[in-house]
Amino acid sequence: MENANTARALASSSARGQRAENGRAGEEYQKALKAHHLKRKAWLVLIHAALIAWVLVSVYPLLRIFSVSLRPGDRIVSTDLSLIPAGASFLSYWKVLYETNFLFWLWNSLIITCATATIGVSLAALAGYAFSRFKFPGHKTGLTLLLGNEMIPAAMLLLPLFLMIMKLGLVNTYLGMIIAYSVTSLPFSIWILKGYYDTIPKSLEEAALVDGTTRFGAFLRIILPLSTPALAIAFLFNFTQAWNEYLVARVVLTDARMYTWTLGLFELQGQYLTQWGMFAAASILVTLPVLGVFLYSSKWLISGLTLGGVKG
């Protein structure tokens, strides 16, 4: 009986000890966990602070221009730091839209840019496919030349490009601009698309060929739908390049009615007086189409569409 009691007492005391031990270990674990969480939080705060600072630096100029566009008169320099200045009005916007050829310029830019992007991407999509899938004489040389072409500064291409366009009688035409633009951005698009096609397994096209398509059919039905992220990137690249281009436009377009907005904007800059308010307003307005295109195409940029079709 006594033995049993002793055993029970021993057992209960050892259980208490165990619990205490467990408690201690638990506390330590909790402490470590807390420290870990704190560390994580500190990191997050740090990263976010850096990101916010970066955003401020990036957005500040835009906000300044917005602020200038709202100022009455044409003051670019001001001691006023407020975003919305005293006496703010949309007068500059109204003036840009109705007292200048701004809408004309925008229209010209839009036509040239959309045509450039569409033609450029279509050509690059086909050329990239050829470079990705076929072996032909000049395959490697072609790719190297395309890359080399990218390294020539735009200013160097200016004269030959102008001479060519002049000889073709395409000065002051949309077509001249479209050719000049799509040709210059083609190499980059081809490289991007070729690189993307290379990641798409050949067996997908082969399956389509066996299923009953032609080579071109397989390209249209299988490869193109799978390449939307790369196509979107190439399109955006072409679009922004053509939209913001100034140098070539300056040389090829001499008729004020054919001006793109980049040329037009400088019309507002007189020799003695620059209409900074209108300049700023126009600058804000021209970002809107690009912004729209970017927002719209962001849904096509989701990559990883090819996942799961073949063994990953």
**Under the rule (CB under 8 A), what is the footprint of other proteins?**
201, 203-204, 206-214, 217, 222, 225-226, 305-311
- Check residue 258 and report its DSSP letter: G
Task: For the chain, give the number of residues.
Answer: 312
Q: Which is nearer to other proteins, 171 or 207 (CB)?
A: 207
Reduced to 3 states (helix: H, G, I; strand: E, B; else coil), residue 274 is: strand
- Check residue 242 and report its DSSP letter: H
Beta bridge partners of 274: 269
Q: What is the Cα–Cα distance from 5 to 13, expressed in whole angstroms?
A: 12
- Check residue 106 and report its DSSP letter: H
Q: Which is nearer to other proteins, 167 or 311 (CB)?
A: 311
Q: How near is the Cβ of 311 to other proteins at its closest, in Å?
A: 5
How many CA within 13 A on the CB side of residue 80? 15
Q: Which is nearer to other proteins, 172 or 306 (CB)?
A: 306
Q: Which is nearer to other proteins, 16 or 202 (CB)?
A: 202
CB 238 within 8 A of CB 189: yes
Q: Which is nearer to other proteins, 186 or 232 (CB)?
A: 232
Q: Which is nearer to other proteins, 170 or 207 (CB)?
A: 207
Angle 174-199/228-244 helices, nearest 10 degrees? 150
Q: Which is nearer to other proteins, 96 or 208 (CB)?
A: 208
Q: Which is nearer to other proteins, 135 or 167 (CB)?
A: 135
Backbone angles phi, psi at 269, to 5 degrees: -95, 100
Q: How near is the Cβ of 300 to other proteins at its closest, in Å?
A: 13
Selection from 224, 194, 195 nearest residue 208 by Cα:
224
Q: How near is the Cβ of 294 to other proteins at its closest, in Å?
A: 23
Q: What is the Cα–Cα distance from 222 to 206, expressed in whole angstroms?
A: 10
Q: How near is the Cβ of 130 to other proteins at its closest, in Å?
A: 18
Q: What is the Cα–Cα distance from 277 to 76, expressed in whole angstroms?
A: 8
Backbone angles phi, psi at 196, to 5 degrees: -75, -45
Q: How near is the Cβ of 166 to other proteins at its closest, in Å?
A: 46
Q: How near is the Cβ of 213 to other proteins at its closest, in Å?
A: 6
Q: How near is the Cβ of 229 to other proteins at its closest, in Å?
A: 12
Q: What is the Cα–Cα distance from 155 to 165, expressed in whole angstroms?
A: 15
Q: What is the Cα–Cα distance from 279 to 287, expressed in whole angstroms?
A: 13
Q: How near is the Cβ of 131 to other proteins at its closest, in Å?
A: 20
